[in-house]
Amino acid sequence: MDTFLQETFERLLFNTELSFKRYLYPNFQPGRLTGLVGARGVGKTTLMLQYIKENLIHTQKAFYFSADSVYFHGSTLLKFVNDLYHLEGYRFFFIDEIHQYDNWNQEIKNLYDAFPDIKIVYSGSSMLEITQGSYDLSRRTKIYHLSGMSFREYLNFSEKASFEPIELSSLLANPTKFNKLGLTPKILRHFQTYLATGYYPFIFEEPHSYYERVMRIINKIIFEDIPNYFDLKTHNLHLFQKILSYLSTIPPGEVNTNNIAKNMNVAHQTIFHYLKILQDVGLIQMIYPFEGGNQYLRKPEKIFLHNTTLLYTLQQFVGDPLNKGMLRELYFIQTMRDANHPVYYSKQADFRTKTHYFEIGGKNKTGQQIADLDGPGFLVKDDIAIASKGVIPLLFLGFIY
């Protein structure tokens, strides 16, 4: 066994806290082959180490390592796991950053087929690469997706609270039932802080260098992950930075692939391809119309950054004033998406799900735009903490996962 990898695992495990666990942890039950996917920085490594420390360290031979270690420049996953299996008796393997290892799909399949008595958990930052890899791992793998931190989780950690998640269906059936949430001391102030710095859990580790770390994540995705996943020339990568900066300053309703292409002086098809890549790697979100057709053949109606913390981070470096309307809509999209409730563009209101319409605004927003809908609709208002008939505080949506 490589001594450095062993010492790294022991050091990380020793420093892993069990006091705060992400929403996914109670339901995380690894099988023979388990994939843990999500954007960079949302806490996949911590979740794996917490699981080992709490469930395995005293009962089973479990080993954690990262596939991006220099050790694997001269060895293979197959040989490493084989040695740990036969020489050390390990039966549970946690492999981080699997997408950084060439040919990972085939070797994971070979390990799965050759060692029926081991369990493998692997993590990666690209949903596309992990879930759509070759060698047909999809039939063998149980996939868990970890989203960024919800407002509920943020409050639970920062305020030592114990809020439980609420069902969206219950919230829509009777918003006023949850008005006790709005009575939480300083809830509006906490919500504003969360929008700026709450999506990535490392805010509690590095508050003074938080935006710098988020920028490092952005740059790592652009200059390491994207070239590894997609056949792109290095000199084109700066365009991804320019697209993100552009999206951070232009209201979503004014953004389309044509004006991005014109602004960047790049072909329309190239821009659309780059936007798809940015969505696949978790840096942007494109919203499509609800009405029919294949999403991949349609143009997005609105284009957002992936989450509000990314928006605030880029604002730090771009310098333009933050658009409050953009922030509200982005948060609505973000929390609905991360709670697995697909959202679509609507001509009748700002957004809709399959069953409900939503108009997003500030506390003075009126219900005029949802007066004549062909289905149930709600005003979702920022800057309020108490629901009323047909009106939901934007912050309440932060409790649906």
CB burial string 111-149: b at 16+ within 10 A, e below: bbeebeebbbbbbbbbbbbbeebeeebeebbeebbbbbb
Does 196 lie in the same domain as 121?
no
The domain containing residue 101 runs over which residues?
3-145
Number of domains making up the chain: 2
How confident is residue 292, by pLDDT bands cut at 50, 70 and 90? low
Handedness of CA 391, 251, 302, 222 (dihedral sign): negative
The tens digit of pLDDT for each residue in 316-334 reads 888 778 999 999 999 999 9
CA dihedral 31, 37, 41, 45 (to 10 degrees): 20
Rounded CA separation 231/127 (Å)? 17
Residue 293's pLDDT is what? 58
Assign 135 to helix, strand or coil.
coil
Element (H, E) at 360: strand 357-361
CA dihedral 246, 250, 253, 254 (to 10 degrees): -80
Read off the CATH number of the domain in which 19 is found. Answer: 3.40.50.300
**Among candidate residues 86, 119, 145, the one where a domain is terminated:** 145
Does 62 lie in the same domain as 206?
no
Stretch 184-194: mean pLDDT: 98
Instruction: State yes or no: pLDDT of 294 exceeds 90.
Output: no
Does 166 lie in the same domain as 224?
yes
Does 176 lie in the same domain as 82?
no
The tens digit of pLDDT for each residue in 123-170 reads 987 654 555 555 567 778 899 999 999 999 999 999 999 999 999 999
Does 304 lie in the same domain as 178?
yes
78 beta partners: none
Does 91 lie in the same domain as 191?
no
Stretch 84-112: mean pLDDT: 92
How confident is residue 223, by pLDDT bands cut at 50, 70 and 90? very high
Residue 126's pLDDT is what? 63
The tens digit of pLDDT for each residue in 198-209 reads 999 999 988 999
Please, which residues have CB within 8 angstroms of residue 286's CB and are 6 or more apart in sequence? 275, 279, 300, 302, 303, 304
Does 131 lie in the same domain as 278?
no
**Among candidate residues 145, 178, 206, the one where a domain is terminated:** 145
Assign 223 to helix, strand or coil.
helix
Does 167 lie in the same domain as 136?
no
Assign 23 to helix, strand or coil.
coil
**Among candidate residues 145, 176, 193, the one where a domain is terminated:** 145
- What HEC string does 304-323 produce? EECCHHHHHHHHHHHCCCCC
Does 70 lie in the same domain as 29?
yes
| pTM confidence score | 0.92
How confident is residue 296, by pLDDT bands cut at 50, 70 and 90? low
Does 358 lie in the same domain as 226?
yes
Does 191 lie in the same domain as 319?
yes
Long-range contacts of 75-84 (CB under 8 A, 24+ apart): 76/107, 77/101, 77/104, 77/107, 77/108, 77/111, 78/107, 78/110, 78/111, 80/2, 81/111, 81/115, 81/118, 83/1, 84/1
Does 273 lie in the same domain as 191?
yes
